[in-house]
Amino acid sequence: MVSFDMYRKVPADLLEGTRRGSVFSIFAIIVMATLFMLETMEFLRTTMVTEMLIDGDDSPKVRVNFNITMLDLRCEYAVVDVVSVLGTEQNVTQHVNKWNLDQEGVRKRYHGRNKNQKDILYFDQSVTSTIEELHEDGEDAEMLDPEQLAKAMKENQFVFVDFFAGWCSHCQVLAPTWETLAEVMHEVATESLEEKLADKYPSGDHGYSEEEYHAAVKVLLPVKIAKVDCVAHEDFCLRQQQVLGYPTLRLFYNGEKYGDYNADRTIVHFTNFLARVEEDVKPDVFKLDHADTRVKESFESQSGLPRKAIPQWKDEEHPGCQISGFLMVDRVPGNFHIKARSNKKNLIPSMTNVSHEIHHLSFGDPSMSRIIERGRAYVPDDLNGKLSPMDGFVYVTSGYHQAHHHHLKIVTTEFNYSPGTKRGKTYQLLGQSQLAGYEPDVVPEARFIYDLSPVSMLFKQKSRKWYDYLTSVMAIIGGTFTVVGMVESSIHSVTSKKRR
C-alpha cells in the first residue's frame, strides 16, 4: 500500500515562498493604486505656463483709462494733451469728463464750457481805435495801485478791474475794448449829471468849476472801470488777489470780490453783465439805461446773451478738479499730460500747482480687467495688481515750478478665459515716478510717459495628452510587477543559499 504521508507534509521553503509572495503581491497592488491615483490627478490637473514672445500686435491704437484728481487746479484750466513720437499732438475732450471739487473733495457739476473751443470773443471788433488814440483825450480806465484800489472800492459800490500784465498778448488786444468800456461808463455818468443839472438849472448856468464837474461825474459813475498792472504789483496780484492768469476781469461790490468775468469781451456783453449784476444786488440803482444809443441798441438787439450772473464760490482754498475718461493713443512711445492752459488767459507758471492723486490708471479694454478680477481668466494670482499698480497714490509738489513725471513700461499680456478657450489681451504696467523741475516761465504739467515693450507675455494652460496618460499607466503596472518580482527573486535566492 502506498502511504500518502509524503504528500501531507509541505516543504518549508515552499510554504515560506507562498507567504512572501502574498505580501509582495499586496504591496505591489498598493503601490500601483497609489501611483495610478497620483498619475490620474496629474492628468486631470492643468498647469500655468508663461511664454515670452515678440509682440506681434498690429492694432494702431491702445486705450488708456484714467481717473485722476488735480488737487489744486480749476477745471476751467485743466486740459489733457497727448503727444507721440510720430509727431502728433492733440488736445483731448471727446471722452474726458471733469468735475469741480471743493476744498473737502466733494464733487460738483462742471458748468463751464469747453475752454479749448475758440468761441470766446477776446475783444470787441467794433472798437477800431488804438489804445493810443483812445488816450488822446484822457485815460478813462484808471490805473490803480493796491492803495488806490482799496480807496476806490470804498468810494464806489461797483469796481470792475482788469488785472493785466504788459507781456500778455490777450491783455494787449483787450486794452482798447477796456478803455472804450470806461468811456461808455463816463458818458453814462455825464448824461446823468447833465439831466440833473438841467432840472436844477434850466438856464444852463450851474456855476460848477471844471474840476467840480469832473468830480461830480465820478460820483455818478455806475461802475468804476479800473486796471492794475500785475508786473509792477506782482505780490499783490499773486498773493492777495490770487490772480492765476492774465487778463483777470474781476468785479468788486462794496469792497468785496463779487466774481470773475469769463464770457465774451465785448462792450455789449460787459454792459449786459454789469446791468444784470446791478439788478441782483441793487434793484433801485441806476441800470445803465442811459448808455449811449449805439451801445443801447446793440445791447437790445443781441440774442442768446449770458444768463443772470451768479456770484461765484468764494472759498479761499483753490478748488480741485477730478478728470476721468479714456484716451486712444498711438501704439508707439509717447506721453499724455495734464496741465493748466487757457485760450483766453495767459497763465502764471509760478502759480500753477499740478499735485494730483491717481484713483485709477490702466491700459487696454476694461472688460478684460473685470474678467481677471472675477477669476474667469487663466492667469497668475498676482496679475491683477500689476495692471494698475499706481492706483491710490498721491503725488504732491512742495514748491513752485515742480511736477511729477511718471515713466510707464507697458507689457502686452495675452491669456485664455472661460467659457471655452477665448483669448483676451491686457497690459501690465511697470511704473517709476520722479519729481521734475521747470524753468520759471514754463507751465508745469503732470506727465505720464509710456513706452510699449517689444516683448509680450502669453499665459496659457498646459495639460497632458491622453496617450501620454495611458502610456504612464501601463508603465506603472509593468514596472511595479517587474520591480517586485526582481526583489522577490533576490530575497528567494538569498534565503535558499542560507538554507543550503
pLDDT of residue 447: 94
335-358 mean pLDDT: 84
pLDDT of residue 494: 73
pLDDT of residue 87: 67
Share of the chain above pLDDT 90, in %: 18
- In this structure, what C-alpha cell is assigned to residue 139? 485815460
pLDDT of residue 110: 44
| 483-492: b (≥16 Cβ within 10 Å) or e | ebeeebeeee
Q: Could you state, in order of their start, the residue ranges of all structural domains in the chain?
A: 10-45+465-499, 51-103+319-462, 131-301
Residue type, 266: T
Residue 202 to residue 459: CA distance in whole angstroms: 98
Most confident of 73-87, 261-275, 435-449, 467-481: 435-449
CATH number among 3.40.50.720, 3.40.50.1970, 3.40.30.10, 1.10.3720.10, domain 131-301: 3.40.30.10
pLDDT of residue 111: 42
| Range of weakest confidence among 72-86, 92-106, 274-288 | 274-288
pLDDT of residue 383: 87
**Do 294 and 275 form a contact (C-beta atoms < 8 A)?**
no
pLDDT of residue 301: 39
Confidence of residue 145 (pLDDT cuts 50, 70, 90): very high
- Crossing angle of helices 267-281/293-301, nearest 10°? 80
pLDDT of residue 466: 76
Confidence of residue 63 (pLDDT cuts 50, 70, 90): very high
Residue 294 to residue 382: CA distance in whole angstroms: 72
138 vs 132, 217, 285, 300, CA distance in Å?
Answer: 10, 14, 27, 29
| 349-378 pLDDT tens trace | 777 889 999 999 999 999 888 888 888 888
Pairing of strands 346-347, 245-246: antiparallel
pLDDT of residue 194: 58
467 vs 59, 391, 399, 472, 473, CA distance in Å?
Answer: 40, 48, 69, 9, 10
Most confident of 185-194, 206-215, 291-300, 397-406: 397-406
The better pLDDT of the pair 119, 287 is held by 119
CATH number among 2.10.260, 2.60.120, 1.10.3470, 2.60.470, domain 51-103+319-462: 2.60.470
Using CA atoms of 111, 114, 119, 124 in order, give the dihedral in degrees to the nearest 10: 60
| 273-297 pLDDT tens trace | 887 887 777 544 444 444 344 334 4
317-341 mean pLDDT: 86
257-286 mean pLDDT: 77
Pairing of strands 78-84, 248-253: unpaired
430-450 mean pLDDT: 90
| 441-488 pLDDT tens trace | 888 999 999 999 888 888 877 767 777 778 887 888 778 778 777 777
Residue 210 has pLDDT above 60, yes or no: no
Pairing of strands 402-417, 445-452: parallel
Most confident of 38-47, 51-60, 80-89, 135-144: 135-144
Residue 24 has pLDDT above 90, yes or no: no
146-170 mean pLDDT: 90
Confidence of residue 228 (pLDDT cuts 50, 70, 90): very high
pLDDT of residue 211: 56
pLDDT of residue 282: 59
pTM: 0.59
Confidence of residue 48 (pLDDT cuts 50, 70, 90): confident
pLDDT of residue 406: 95
pLDDT of residue 284: 43
Residue 307 has pLDDT above 60, yes or no: no
pLDDT of residue 290: 40
| 383-428 pLDDT tens trace | 888 999 999 899 998 888 899 999 999 999 988 887 667 788 899 9
Please give, one letter per residue, the 3-state secondary structure of the chain: CCCCHHHHCCCHHHHHHHHHHHHHHHHHHHHHHHHHHHHHHHHHCCEEEEEEEECCCCCCEEEEEEEEEECCCCCCCEEEEEEECCCCEEEECCCEEEEEECCCCCEECCCCCCCCCCCCCCCCCCCCCCHHHHHHHCCCCEECCHHHHHHHHHHCCEEEEEEECCCCHHHHHHHHHHHHHHHHHHHHHHHHHHHHHHHHCCCCCCCCCHHHHHHHHHHCCCCEEEEEECCCCHHHHHHHCCCCEECEEEEEECCEEEEEECCCCCHHHHHHHHHHHHHHHCCCCCCCCCCCHHHHHHHHHCCCCCCCCCCCCCCCCCCEEEEEEEEEEECCCEEEEEEECCCCCEECHHHCCCCEEEEEEEECCHHHHHHHHCCCECCCCCHHHHHCCCCCEEECCCCCCEEEEEEEEEEEEEEEECCCCEEEEEEEEEEEEEEEECCCCCCCEEEEEEEECCEEEEEEEECCCHHHHHHHHHHHHHHHHHHHHHHHHHHHHHHHHHHC
